[in-house]
C-alpha cells in the first residue's frame, strides 16, 4: 500500500493541466460527457460510445488483474493519486478509455456532422494524448502501461467497428436485449478474477457494466415505446449554426439531466446500501463489509444501472415535459 508523499510543485501549468487531464478518465467525466452526447448530439453516437466504452473498460480492468503488473515504484516516482494505487498497472485503463471514447466519437460523427476530418482527428489525438501523459505525470503508470492501453483500445476499436451497426440494431430490436443486458454483466461481475488482497477494480468494473446495462435497457425501451426525443436533425452543431438559443437549450438539457442523474445516484446508493446492510446485518459505515462480493456487486450494479436508465429514459421524458426538445 502506498502512502502520501510530500512534494513541491515547480510548474503549476503542468500540474493543473495533467491533474485536469487525469480527471478526463474518471467517473466525473463519464457521468457528464456520455449523457451529454445522448441529450444534445445524437442517440446513435451515444449508443456506440457507451457500448465501446463498456467493452474496452471491462477488458482493460480484467487484464490488469490477470497480468498483475505492478505500478511504478514510489520512490523514485511521486504518486499524486492514492485511490487507485492498490490496483495493478498494465494496461492503463485511463489510456484505454480516452482512446476509445475520443476516436469512437470521431468515427461516429464524421459522416453525420459538417466539420473537417483533420480537425476531429487532431482533437481526438490531443484528448487521448493528454490523458495518457497525465498518467505518467501523476506517477500512476509506466510508459509501457500507457502505450499498451492505447494500443489495446485501438485494436478493439478496429475489431468492433465492422460490427457497430449490427450490435446497435440488436440492442434496439432484439426481444432478449433487456434480459441479456442485465444477466451478462452481472455474471461477469460475480465471476471477476479473485485477488489476494482488496482492489477497487471489481467495484469500478461493476460500476461501468452497471451503467452500460441500465443505458442499454433504456435504449431498447425508447426504441420500442417512444419516438427518439432528439436526433442529429435537431441541432447541427457546426460552428456557423450555433446560436444563443441553441446554447441555452443545450445548457438547460445538460443541467437538468445532471441534476437528475446525480440525484438518482445518491438516492439509489442510500436505498440499496441500506437494504443490503439490513440483509447481511452490517452497519452502513462498515467499509470491510461493503467490499464483500455479495454486497459490493449488487450495491454498485443496481446503483449505476439506475443511473444509466435514468439518463436514457427519465431525463429525456423530463426534457420533453419541460419543453426542452
Kindly list the catalytic residues.
Answer: 94, 141
Distance CA 34, CA 102 (A): 11
Q: Which three cell numbers stand for residue 122?
A: 487532431
CA dihedral of residues 115, 237, 55, 221 (deg, nearest 10): -140
User: What are the cell numbers at 282?
Assistant: 452490517
What HEC string does the chain produce?
CCCCCCCCCCCHHHHHHHHHHHHCCCHHHHHHHHHHHHHHCCHHHHHHHHHHHHHHHHHHHHHHHHHCCCCCCCCCCCCCCCHHHHCCCCCCHHHHHHHHHHHHHHHHHCCCCCCCHHHHHHHHHHHHHHHHHHHHHCCCCCHHHHHHHHHHHHHHHHHHHHHHHHHHHHHHHCCCHHHHHHHHHHHHHHCCCCCCCCCCHHHHHHHHHHHHHHHHHHHHHHHHHCCCCCCCCCCCCCHHHCCHHHHHHHHHHHHHHHHHHHHHHHHHHHHHHHHHHHHHCCCCCCHHHHCCHHHHHHHHHHHHHHHHHHHHHHHHHHHHHCCCC
250 vs 261: CA distance, rounded Å: 16
Amino acid at each position: 500500500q502506498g502512502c502520501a508523499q510530500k512534494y513541491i510543485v515547480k510548474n503549476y501549468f503542468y500540474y493543473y493541466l495533467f491533474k485536469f487531464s487525469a480527471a478526463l478518465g474518471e467517473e466525473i467525466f463519464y457521468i457528464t460527457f456520455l449523457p451529454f452526447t445522448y441529450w444534445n448530439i445524437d442517440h446513435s453516437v451515444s449508443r456506440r460510445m457507451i457500448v465501446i466504452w463498456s467493452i474496452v473498460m471491462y477488458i482493460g480492468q480484467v487484464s490488469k488483474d490477470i497480468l498483475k503488473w505492478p505500478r511504478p515504484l514510489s520512490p523514485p516516482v511521486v504518486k499524486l493519486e492514492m485511490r487507485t494505487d492498490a490496483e495493478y498497472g498494465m494496461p492503463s485503463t485511463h489510456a484505454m478509455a480516452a482512446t476509445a471514447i475520443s476516436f469512437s466519437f470521431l468515427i461516429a460523427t464524421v459522416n453525420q456532422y459538417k466539420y473537417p476530418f483533420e480537425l476531429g482527428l487532431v482533437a481526438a489525438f490531443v484528448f487521448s494524448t493528454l490523458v495518457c501523459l497525465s498518467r505518467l505525470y501523476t506517477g500512476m503508470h509506466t510508459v509501457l502501461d500507457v502505450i499498451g492501453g492505447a494500443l489495446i483500445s485501438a485494436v478493439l476499436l478496429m475489431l468492433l467497428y465492422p460490427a457497430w451497426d449490427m450490435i446497435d440494431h440488436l440492442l434496439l430490436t432484439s426481444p432478449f436485449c433487456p434480459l441479456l443486458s442485465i444477466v451478462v454483466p452481472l455474471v461477469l461481475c460475480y465471476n471477476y478474477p479473485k485477488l489476494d488482497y482488496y482492489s477497487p477494480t471489481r467495484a469500478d468494473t461493476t460500476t461501468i457494466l452497471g451503467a452500460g446495462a441500465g443505458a442499454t435497457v433504456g435504449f431498447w425501451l425508447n426504441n420500442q415505446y417512444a419516438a427518439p426525443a432528439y436526433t442529429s436533425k435537431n441541432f447541427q452543431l457546426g460552428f456557423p449554426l450555433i446560436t444563443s438559443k441553441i446554447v441555452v437549450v443545450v445548457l438547460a438539457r445538460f443541467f437538468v439531466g445532471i441534476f437528475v442523474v446525480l440525484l438518482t445516484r445518491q438516492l439509489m446508493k442510500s436505498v440499496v446500501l441500506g437494504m443490503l446492510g439490513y440483509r447481511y446485518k452490517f452497519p452502513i459505515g462498515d467499509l470491510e463489509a461493503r467490499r464483500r462480493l455479495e454486497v459490493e456487486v449488487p450495491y454498485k450494479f443496481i446503483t449505476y444501472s439506475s443511473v444509466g436508465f435514468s439518463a436514457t429514459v427519465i431525463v429525456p421524458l423530463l426534457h420533453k415535459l419541460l419543453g426542452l426538445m
